[in-house]
Structure 1
Amino acid sequence: MLHKLYGLRIPIVFSTAMLALISIALLFTLPPTLGTLAPALVDSDNTVCRVLSDGSSECYPMIFQATHEFQPIRPEQQLPKGLHIRINVATGLKEAKLVSSTETEGEPESMAVALSGSDQVVASNQDKTIQLQSKPDEFTIDHGRNDAPIAAESVQKEAVKKTGVTGDINKPVLIHRPDGETHASTHGVGLGTHQLSAFDLTLKELQSHPNHTTLMRILDHLDNVVSQIDYGIDFAKSEYGIPALLDLMRGDDLEVREHAVLIISSAMSNNPQAQEAASRFGLIYELWKLFELQTDLVHQKRFFSAFGVTIRSNVKAILSFSDDNGFKGLSKMVAYFKRNRLPELIKIRILSLFGDMIDPDMFTTHDSKSDAPVSSIHTASADTIKEWCKICSVNWSGTYTTPYKEARDRGMQLLQKQGLCPS
């Protein structure tokens, strides 16, 4: 009986083991679309193997094999100390090479972004520093420099001394761009003397008419930092930054023009102190005049967005722009709105901003008789108000989308609320 029982059990156990082996074998022989292989696996011989999107695989050393030429750093690779690292702006890939005899070897945590030709550096986050080098066409991250004068802790101490605000300098902050994009940033409050000096030199570099490659790299750098509140403020306070970008926005290079206006948007967005500092350059007037000159939809959107983030929620700027004894901004907006073949998207944005500009709830000034809030629309002439009433009327000619009608109706409600248009 036992013999029969064991005779029955042995084949069953054997079959189960075989099935397990077969299952494991199938798992590693299935196509990538069916298997569950990790994106990168470290092999026993210190190599990294990856399954690519097309189903093929590649293997390379786990330790980066540096030479005297820049090579791309592969996923999961480990870097030896003291390498020269850069971001290839053409490919977006991080590259590394051996440090040459003319470069200083140091700790791998100390990194620098090369921008121009100054010995001063701007301390950024996590001991990374922005450095200006002499080679005009080189924009690199130098791995191994040990001459960074200000570490993150020093920046934080300077911030507390300057603002009285304490906080984690490495705490991630979500930066919401005016164009709708959101990216993470780490930033401490306040810049020290060395950072301010070098940052000013970077801005001054814009006025030296660098070649196109160097110019675009400087603009790339500025776009990355001015969305952070204190860099935005110092950018607006600089004697070089806004005038240089206004000159670039008046130029013929469409790529440079678009990049420059995006930097303005980033610096001014949700930054009242930067908006106030920029007012001495007449920024809102210059942005409006530049907006009027744009002929393609992309640049119309970019310039109107920059104008909008600079003036929206900025009561002083709204009143200054709207004053009928000054720039006559609301009158200019009417004239622009009535242009032939103006894209509906731009009309919607103008109507939306117009509603924000005349909303009495935004204003702290009051009528002495009724104690009611007084909005910017009261600075406009009677003819200008009449034109806005026509534009916001349902009888305005044309067939429009729901977003247009909603922006138009809001404008009319705000005008009627202040007794400026017939009900």
Structure 2
Amino acid sequence: MKTSLLNLALVWYSLSVHTAFAHTEKFPTALTIREHSDRFEEKEESHNTHEAHDPEDLEVFNPTDEWQTLKPNQAVPPGSHVRLNMQTGLREAKRGEEEGLKYWTDGQRHEINKQSTFRAQQLKEALKKYKGDNPSKKEAGQADTSTSSQFRSVDELKRDMEALEFLMETDAEIMHKLLSKFNSTSNTVDQRVTALLDLEYLVHQVDNAKNLVSMGGLKLVTDALNNTDVRIQESAAFVLGSAVSSNPTVQIEALEGGALQKLLTLLATPHPVSVKKKALFALACLLRHFPFAQSHFVELGGMQVLGDLFKEQGVDCLRVRIITMLYDMIIEKELVFKTDIEAVPNSTQQQYAKYSLHPMLVEQGWCNLVPELLNSTDHDQREKAVRTLLAMRPHCQTQYQQNPSLTNSLISLQKEYQTLALTEETQGEKDGYFNEILSLLDSLVVKIH
């Protein structure tokens, strides 16, 4: 009995000494932040007595493979699974497969997920270390520096190009050289034609077309329509059409420069089909959305010129362009008067009201000319012919009804396109191209009769 008491006393004494030693052992040096200062100081904290409890310290939940109830404000190690028990309304957690929380101190990683508590000071220090020593940011900064060093400024590139006798030219400078090349009588026709074609590529851009006017190039191109060489005439008409396309400023300059009269002259006099093809292109671009020019076109006998050209032999490709231009002019004017007055200025409507195409369509025989294209085997020509016939119908109704060949052609085409449309539908195209043409034909037949 005495021996047992003696052993028990020795064990109790050993535990007491070990506990006292544990409480007197110093912790390693830690970083602390002085309030209202950005400087960090090293301070050795003495823990000769028990630490005062910090309310921000978090007790760490020790997860297992089973779901356990979490206490209020209890910290959960990263990677743990957390759920809300719908029956009790309490949060529960269990062990996950992910790693525990890790942080950086002194350039090394230390695990702290095995601690029983997370001290607030430890968390703050870990956050400072993370913000102050982020390797990804350093790598990003180095990458930016290395990337910027790979490129040079525009001034440096210009100096290098000048040293290599390689000059950077603007579009305006290039256009000026092309105009000089075209206007030079010492150059061959091929060289002048090449200059015009290069110029046509540039004047598609709105600002370049305006620069063409300011350089005096538009006048040179317009005057070239009267050149004796058909290749220069063709190329000049090509440049003119591209320059005035969707460019009201250049359209006005071209009209005032006499381009309309010169284009009509090309179309009314003997010239190759290639020249007249480009002249029609330029004329259509000049008249589009330009009622003042359309009015002058009618006054100058433009409808008569187009009618005579349409009747010529061997000009099927020109016929399609002619009726397309007529269709655009008719529909354009109708849309202007159907649109809300607030969307279209009154002055624009007044300009469109100064001329009328419909009486001329009847007088000059267009009601019987357009149906001739229905005899073509080309689907595109047929489509454009039917659309134009529909646009002219309010003023050509009588002529349509008195034209038996038109009725026969429409009935024959209906049967043909019914078969083609059915074939499209069997192939899964319910709204195909042939079905669209068939709808136009059906509409025209119904309106005529």
Bin of the TM-score, shorter chain as denominator length: 0.3 to 0.5
Structure whose CA Rg is larger: 2
Q: Which has the higher helix share?
A: 2
Q: Which has the higher strand share?
A: 1
The normalised TM-score by structure 1 is 0.46
The normalised TM-score by structure 2 is 0.43
